[in-house]
Structure 1
Amino acid sequence: MHVDIEYCVPCGLRDHAIDLQRALLDEYGRGLDGVRLRPGHGGVFRVTADGETVWDKDEEGGIDVDAILSRVGE
């Protein structure tokens, strides 16, 4: 599985993206083919797994690492 984390650079969401990347690798390790960080703008924090959106900060109202981990594992 390939996971992409797109995050807003000007908003200071890089640390959240790095923390999530680390949590994904800790949780799923070898089950992942890669976790890519993609700098963005406009307040974005979106997580996709194999091209399918599993988390969008704007729709969910924030960033919840545990919920994201659960959705990636589905």
Structure 2
Amino acid sequence: MDEQIDVTPARVTVTYCTQCNWMLRAAWLAQELLTTFGTRLTEVALVPRTGGIFQVHVGDELVWDRKERKGFPEVPVLKRIVRDRVAPGLSLGHTDRVGGAS
């Protein structure tokens, strides 16, 4: 049974610092998002930069900045943040039940 879900396809961008060797972390988060959201995302782009940057954008909206938030996003938290923007009606299963609010 397919449930109806509001969907706004979006591009997710993960900008990461090459000097800090954060490419694997960025790729892992991209894989997690693609696995969870599939075609609800138009693209997940990895953008190499320098200077300690680690940011996640959904469309033009900055949803995570390592410097502002003093760390990296936990996968369940990032999934909820992305879900709330691209598919608000989508259940994330155990991710919605574990870890509290984002």
Instruction: Sort the TM-score into its range (normalised by shorter chain).
Output: over 0.9
Q: TM-score, normalised by structure 1?
A: 0.95
More strand by share: 1
Q: How far, CA to CA, are the matches of 1:67 and 1:17 in structure 2?
A: 15
The aligned counterpart of 2:44 is 35
Structure 1 position 73 matched with structure 2 position 79: no
Aligned-pair identity in percent equals 34
Q: Which runs of 4+ in 1 moved over 2 A?
A: none
* One-letter amino acid matched to 1:70: R
Give the drift of 1:32.
Answer: 0.4
The aligned counterpart of 2:65 is 56
- State how many pairs are aligned: 74
Unaligned runs of 5+ in 2: 1-9, 85-102
Unaligned runs of 5+ in 1: none
Bigger CA radius of gyration: 2
Where relative contact order (Cα < 8 A, 6+ residues apart) is larger, the structure is: 1
Q: TM-score, normalised by structure 2?
A: 0.70
